[in-house]
Chains A and B, each alone.
Chain A
Amino acid sequence: MRSSRALAAVAVAVATATAVAACSSGSSSSSSSTSTTSGASSSSSASASTSAGTAAKVTLTWWNNATNQPLLGVYTSAIKGFEAAHPNVTITNVPIQNELLQDTKIPLALEGNNPPNIYQQWGGGVLGQQVASGKVVNITSDVSSWISGISGASGWQANGQQYGVPVDLHVVGFWYRKDIFKKVGITVPTTLTQLESDDTKLRAAGYAPIAVGSKDRWPDAFWWEYFALRDCPQATVTSAIKSESFSASCFATASTDMAAFLKTNPFQTGFLGTSSQQGAGSSAGMVASGKAAMELQGDWDPSVMEGVSTNKGLSSELGWFPFPQTPGSAGSQTAVLGGGDGYSCTGSTAQAQACAEFLQYLDSPSVQAQIVGPGASGEPVVTSESKAITLPATQTAAAYFKTASYEELYFDTALPTKPGQNLDTAIANYFSSPNSGNAAAIANSPQTP
């Protein structure tokens, strides 16, 4: 309701601007305002006709990975809310299991003739690849009026154009057991050296200091990427991802630092065979059951832990701290690794327009509060709504997120799919045997054919 009123206001504003521009003589300033509003004017006329009730029926299919509550319920009620404000739009919700959705269904659908009108993706280089299919609609002009208020939106651009919009953001950091830290008598580490000394104390007390799900490869990549963020200036990281090469010397330093850290034996026994999210034996399960004290994971981790554990008091025992600093190294000490869930639009102009309006609705404060609300995970794209986060650990993460020097998208997502997967594999191999050959393989991994 609130959003439709905002939309009407935008429509009026745009219409007025266009009228003013049309009346004025062609001075340079007015011609520029015409060019900026020309894209939006089509949406204003469409929403005007919507309110007049003459708009044709628009049907949208929405593919997302919200197969479980609470997000499933949030999405269902979001559809109801949007349809009530837009009587001509019908949205069919199709929740699909995540791996099936991302790895199989979406690539195939984008190759076919009838892709879903709204589909989930994680932005970055993968989105860039999807754009190459020619099916993803450029919604830059449809979202131009409100996209500036959305954090992280630039991650959903390709060639400088907006091809998607995030609806929540994720930040990677340490999820730790406050009760175990207290029992062992250690505090949250701020530097890598402190983390290493904490690990020693934890191991002496019989805990696996840090759990990692190396079987899945991408959790290993989080580690190496954080070392890279600490060791490399932001510009180097950005250009490395753009040129798809990690040959800059600071990435070699990151590998060396990673190897030195691995030598301190920080992980659980047999971590190379541990999965990250499946069952009580997974890295998330080990932290949930108190076998391990912490793990480096995204902010979906608490909900994963809840799913694999019977520990009812877990949410109050869980704390969060950022990746430790490595004083003296060349990169930002407060940069965070993260990403988010976003949606792209396909189909006819009318469908893409309705899709963009729906995404605006999902990014409206009231829906944002539900998306990050009780039981859910992630940070809102409207920063004011981080107050809706209920889990204390996630609140800590959200507060830090606001102060971070910058957020870097997970490298495997920022890169196109194949270079990204090659990087994950090379890092996982390095975890298994951190030698110079495997370090060189990381540097060249995105280039591997």
Chain B
Amino acid sequence: MSRSTAIAAGLGPAAAEQSAAAGPRRAPGWRGPKLRKKTELTILLAPALILFVGFVLVPIVIAAYYSFYSWSGYGPLNDYIGLRNYSYAFQDPAFIHAIEHTLMLTVASVVIQGPLAISIALLLNRKFVGRGFLRTVVFAPYVLPPAVTGVMWSLILQPGGFADQVLKSFGLGGLVQLWLANVHIVLGTVFVVLTWQYLGFGIVLLLAGLQNIPKELKEAAEIDGASPWQVTRRITLPLLAPTVRIWGFITIIGSLQIFDIVWILTEGGPANASGTISTYMYLEGVQSTDFGFASAIAVILFAFCFVFALFYQRFALRRDTRGAITRAVG
């Protein structure tokens, strides 16, 4: 402790001296700092900018370009069909179902995972024996790669598998279903697995948000005679709101694009009953090598996410990002 303060004290004046010495020397040149700032910006931003343009913007433009062609991936790009890929997409019941499934998963993620994550985070924010262990356990599924999760759950959920055995051993054999083979419940099964995987992420994010709420506020409220519920309702939750909004953003974008777990669990089946926009895109693009059509799907998905992101930034995240986004936009 004492040594670290000594070092801090030793460093402090030296640093201050340095900056003081640097200050006046630069002051006379008017253009100097501006030029320096520009150079700095260029050097620091260029790599990120090049990567962003090369790996994000250019592919989006190329995908949009491909989407106007009927193109199998072989041979030249010469069969221009205008917007027909888009009209085909919206005429295909499988794609309409894929949109429905994607939206259902997205809404369910927010409506069910949200309150669950908040309540578990509030619980885990209290002091009790084994809290650290429980936090680790809750976060553990998120650490698994989604592919591993998919394979593991497809084994657990196979007919007569672990899930069925557990239900039977509790005398709940009547609840046993064909989890992945029944077209009516397969989407629900997929959602449960998604929740298992991603709930931990929400909890950890919200726990971090809870750490940032000053204790003094709660203490003051308690001194004023607020009940624990009132403290949670009036102090904790409002102050947690920015974190919840960020969690919502990540969850919704993630749900709109969900692919890996769904693909491994069901490949979008049976009979498209669990297909999402991304699995549909993969089927059409990679398996059917209809790259023009799949590009159109990609553009539609991009448009979905982009429009959502803009609206969310504008209306939900506005307070959190004031000065960063809002000023640039406005």
Which residues in A have some Cβ–Cβ distance to B below 8 Å?
A: 103-104, 107-108, 110-111, 129-130, 132-134, 214-217, 268-275, 279, 281, 416-418, 421-422, 425, 428-429, 431-433, 448-449
Cα(A279)–Cα(B158), bound, Å:
11
CB distance from B201 to the nearest CB of A (A): 27
- What does DSSP make chain B's interface, helix, strand, loop or mixed? loop
Stretch at the interface among B16-24, B38-46, B177-185: B177-185
Cα(A129)–Cα(B291), bound, Å:
13
Is B289 an interface position by the 8 A CB rule?
yes
Partner of A421, one of B75, B183, B186, B288: B288
CB distance from B264 to the nearest CB of A (A): 9
Stretch at the interface among B211-219, B250-258, B266-274: B266-274
- What does DSSP make chain A's interface, helix, strand, loop or mixed? helix
Cα(A293)–Cα(B160), bound, Å:
17
Collect the chain B residues with CB atoms within 8 Å of residue A275's CB: 154
Contact A216–B271 (Cβ < 8 Å)? no
Contact A279–B266 (Cβ < 8 Å)? no
Closest 4 CB pairs of A and B: A273-B181, A273-B180, A432-B271, A272-B270
Contact A215–B286 (Cβ < 8 Å)? no
Collect the chain B residues with CB atoms within 8 Å of residue A129's CB: 72, 74, 289
Collect the chain A residues with CB atoms within 8 Å of residue B73's CB: 107-108, 111
Given contacts A103-B287, A217-B269, A421-B287, contact A271 B181 (CB under 8 A): yes
Collect the chain A residues with CB atoms within 8 Å of residue B270's CB: 214-215, 272-273, 428, 431-432
Most B CB within 10 A of own CB, among A132, A270, A274? A270
Which residues in B have some Cβ–Cβ distance to A below 8 Å?
A: 72-75, 84, 88, 92, 94, 154-155, 158-161, 178-183, 186, 266-267, 269-273, 283, 286-290, 293
CB distance from A307 to the nearest CB of B (A): 15
Cα(A267)–Cα(B44), bound, Å:
62
Extra A-B contacts (19), CB below 8 Å, given A273-B179, A274-B158 = A103-B287, A111-B73, A134-B75, A215-B269, A217-B267, A268-B159, A269-B160, A270-B181, A271-B181, A273-B181, A273-B266, A279-B155, A418-B72, A418-B289, A422-B288, A428-B271, A429-B271, A432-B273, A433-B271
Contact A107–B158 (Cβ < 8 Å)? no
Cα(A269)–Cα(B75), bound, Å:
45
Collect the chain A residues with CB atoms within 8 Å of residue B154's CB: 275, 281
Cα(A283)–Cα(B227), bound, Å:
59
Contact A429–B74 (Cβ < 8 Å)? no
Contact A269–B72 (Cβ < 8 Å)? no
Partner of A215, one of B266, B272, B287: B266
Collect the chain B residues with CB atoms within 8 Å of residue A448's CB: 92
Contact A216–B267 (Cβ < 8 Å)? yes
CB distance from B303 to the nearest CB of A (A): 21
CB distance from B176 to the nearest CB of A (A): 10
Collect the chain A residues with CB atoms within 8 Å of residue B94's CB: 425
Contact A418–B159 (Cβ < 8 Å)? no
Write the chain B residue with the least CB distance to A269: B159
Collect the chain B residues with CB atoms within 8 Å of residue A433's CB: 183, 271
Contact A270–B178 (Cβ < 8 Å)? yes
Cα(A142)–Cα(B155), bound, Å:
50
Cα(A110)–Cα(B74), bound, Å:
7
Partner of B186, one of A111, A134, A273, A279: A273
Cα(A431)–Cα(B271), bound, Å:
8
Collect the chain B residues with CB atoms within 8 Å of residue A268's CB: 159
Contact B289–A417 (Cβ < 8 Å)? yes
Collect the chain B residues with CB atoms within 8 Å of residue A449's CB: 84, 88, 293
Contact A418–B288 (Cβ < 8 Å)? yes
Partner of A133, one of B74, B182, B266, B267: B74
11 contacts between A and B (CB under 8 A): A104-B286, A107-B73, A272-B270, A274-B181, A281-B158, A417-B72, A418-B288, A425-B94, A433-B183, A448-B92, A449-B84
Contact A421–B271 (Cβ < 8 Å)? no
Collect the chain A residues with CB atoms within 8 Å of residue B160's CB: 269
Most A CB within 10 A of own CB, among B73, B84, B92? B73
Cα(A449)–Cα(B95), bound, Å:
13
Cα(A448)–Cα(B284), bound, Å:
12
Write the chain A residue with the least CB distance to B94: A425
CB distance from B106 to the nearest CB of A (A): 23
Contact B74–A111 (Cβ < 8 Å)? yes
Collect the chain B residues with CB atoms within 8 Å of residue A422's CB: 288
Contact A215–B72 (Cβ < 8 Å)? no
Cα(A214)–Cα(B88), bound, Å:
27
Collect the chain A residues with CB atoms within 8 Å of residue B92's CB: 448
Partner of B74, one of A130, A215, A279: A130
